[in-house]
Chain A
Amino acid sequence: MPSIQAPPGAAAVIETTALTKVYPGDITALDGLTVSVAPGVTGLVGANGAGKSTLIKILLGLIPPTKGQAKVLGRDCETSGETIRILLGYMPEHDCLPPDVTATEFVTHLGRISGLPPTVAKERAAESLRHVGLHEERYRLIGTYSTGMKQRVKLAQALVGAPQLLLLDEPTNGLDPAGRTAMLELIGRIGAEFGISIVVASHLLGEIERICDHLVAIDGGRLLRADSITSFTQASQVLAVEVEEGLAQLQAELAARGLAATPQAATSQAGSAAASTVQGRTLLVPLGGDDTYDVVRDCVAALALPLCRLEQRRHQVEELFRDEEEVPHA
């Protein structure tokens, strides 16, 4: 999956060099982070406290780095914060909408604050709300909205200023599975069709990998890994197959059909009591595509095994880190 937004030789949209941020009280949020983000849709993954929010604040020019340099769209964050903020759209993680105004009024107002002339702000507010899928509802008070609709308004206000780069902080927060999928599709479409580069911060790797071209993983304020999505996907997408018996036969059968399944290790999946009882009954199969499901089904059917569970494991970013540590030994 190549980066579709990147014209040949396009400059990085975000570039940090040895970026360090130490808060008062010797709390190190970023520790010599050097990373370059290409145009396109990029996932920024890290556990809570990994430094994602601090990085975003530095990129927005809201706080200065202690050391190092950060550049957004070729401009220095410390000296050109205002220019950068014209070109950036930001969707915060938390609730940030007043309940007692309509979405149209609110987004129009923020369009004005983004520097749009009055009529343009009005037009773009209506368009942004339409693009995120709010039509007649946009004349209702925001307080009457569902969580999913509020997330859409938050996205619309980030779009209204016609940004070149969107910073989305946990855009699927608080949404149900259907809402998550819809929001991710929307973000994917904005990245693919609107010609806007996007950085999506999330702690759910399994989720954002669906829409990203690149991933940047940070942990403890350091860069863990920055790569194209494909190299991450292999390590992160697995199908867990649980059978009541005949694990070894199934493994052999899968191997015969070209799938390298491994028995689930005791340490994975949080090591709870339940996990240890099913140990020895679960195989982890790398998920290549929809074919994988068919192959697994065929194998189980051919061996007539009692299949208990077939699930796609949603990997949290912590597992990615463990994988990382294991890779050198493998």
Chain B
Amino acid sequence: MPEVQAAGVIHDLGYRGYDGPRLGRTQIVRALTWHSFRSAFGIGRGVKGKIVPVLAFIAMCLPALVNAFAVAQGNARLFGYDVYTPALRVALVTIFIAAQAPELVSRDLRSRVLPLYFCRPLRRGDYPLAKYVALTGALLILIEVPLLILYAGTIASAKGGGDVWNETRALIPGLGVGLMWAVLFAAVGLVLASLTGRRAYSTGIVAISCVLTFFLALLLIQAEGGTSATSTGARIGGLLSPFTILDGVRVWLGGTSPGLVANPGRYGPLYGVLAVVLLAACLGGLAARYRRVSQS
């Protein structure tokens, strides 16, 4: 083959190596996170990939827009910042994670792209971490932006600084609740979606798990006397579903708007513990899932 080498000088294909700066692992993880965050909204995908996330986002914003008009007409603010519109939020968060968590993880499992990630300077935990941060960020946009619109629409008609201050004080815990939702549901969605590479199945798994547990919790609470009941059954019924767990935590931490669950009363700490345990279990499951994948 020596003659080939000699010919290489003549038929120069122009291959160039690269000696320039390379990004560190942190920046690589950031790049993967940004890529995943964009694809959570279908950016960089076809029109089909954008339909669900964009419609979910618009639907989530509608009540806040309605509120802006209502407040301008002289009405009081329509929704509490800490609950927003509970049923709509449950439905849209379910739809969003059922559609977009598989977009982030099942797709890569399905097309077996993962070895191409793990043969690059990433560590095992980096991939699920990037996906988790990306989906959490996407859920924050979905949940918090409507709250900010609600806030903006309300203070636009505020009379005096005192009103603005009161609205701001009410908004902050609402943003905190939104953060809890984003952090927990990103984990729940990803761990369920990463079970299988079959996109339809993982969407089904996420959707069914969310809907089923939610209705179980609602049924139990209804059977025990509804959200204003004080029976033990009604107080702990909310423990059955992640949505109602978080709502229980909200009430326990001092949320006042009527929400999804009965006041947990002395079972409040139980809701808090269960929320943390659920989050830890989902993140642990996600990490374990990718430790196995990266070796196969």
Contact = CB atoms under 8 A, between A and B. Distances in A.
A110 interface: yes
B113 to A, nearest CB: 6
A192 interface: yes
A120 B20 CA distance: 9
Contact of B121 (A63, A90, A97, A115): A115
Contacts of A85: 119-122
Contacts of B108: 98
Contact of B112 (A1, A60, A88, A94): A94
B22 A116 contact: yes
Contacts of B110: 98
B161 interface: no
Contacts of A57: 295
Contact of A192 (B8, B16, B35): B8
Interface centre among A57, A96, A120 (most CB of B within 10 A): A96
A82 B111 contact: no
Interface in A104-137: 105, 109-110, 112-117, 120, 124, 127, 131
B20 A113 contact: no
Interface stretch (B25-33, B93-101, B243-251): B25-33
A112 B116 contact: no
A92 B294 CA distance: 13
A100 interface: yes
Contacts of B125: none
Contacts of A90: 115-116, 119
B295 A62 contact: yes
B21 A117 contact: yes
A114 B111 contact: no
B1 interface: yes
Contact of A97 (B111, B119, B122, B295): B111
A206 interface: no
Contacts of A100: 45-46, 107
Contact of B31 (A82, A99, A112): A112
A290 interface: no
B284 interface: no
Contacts of A120: 18, 20
Interface centre among A1, A57, A94, A95 (most CB of B within 10 A): A57
B160 interface: no
B24 interface: yes
Contact of B28 (A88, A97, A112, A162): A112
Contacts of A124: 18
Contacts of A4: 1-2, 4-5
A286 interface: no
A115 B23 contact: yes
B176 interface: no
Contact of A161 (B8, B15, B120, B295): B120
A113 B107 CA distance: 17
Contacts of B27: 115
Contacts of B46: 100
Contacts of A193: 4-5, 8, 13, 15
B116 A157 contact: yes
A327 B122 CA distance: 46
B233 to A, nearest CB: 46
Top 3 nearest A-B pairs (CB, nearest first) are: A162-B18, A193-B8, A90-B119
Interface of A: 1-2, 4, 57, 60, 62-63, 82-83, 85-86, 88, 90, 92, 94-101, 105, 109-110, 112-117, 120, 124, 127, 131, 157, 161-162, 188-190, 192-195, 213
Given A4-B5, A98-B111, A192-B4, 15 more contacts: A82-B121, A92-B119, A96-B116, A105-B44, A115-B27, A115-B121, A116-B18, A116-B23, A127-B14, A131-B13, A162-B17, A162-B18, A192-B1, A192-B8, A193-B13
18 contacts: A4-B1, A4-B4, A62-B294, A82-B123, A83-B121, A85-B122, A86-B120, A92-B119, A98-B108, A98-B113, A100-B46, A113-B120, A120-B20, A161-B120, A192-B5, A193-B15, A195-B15, A213-B1
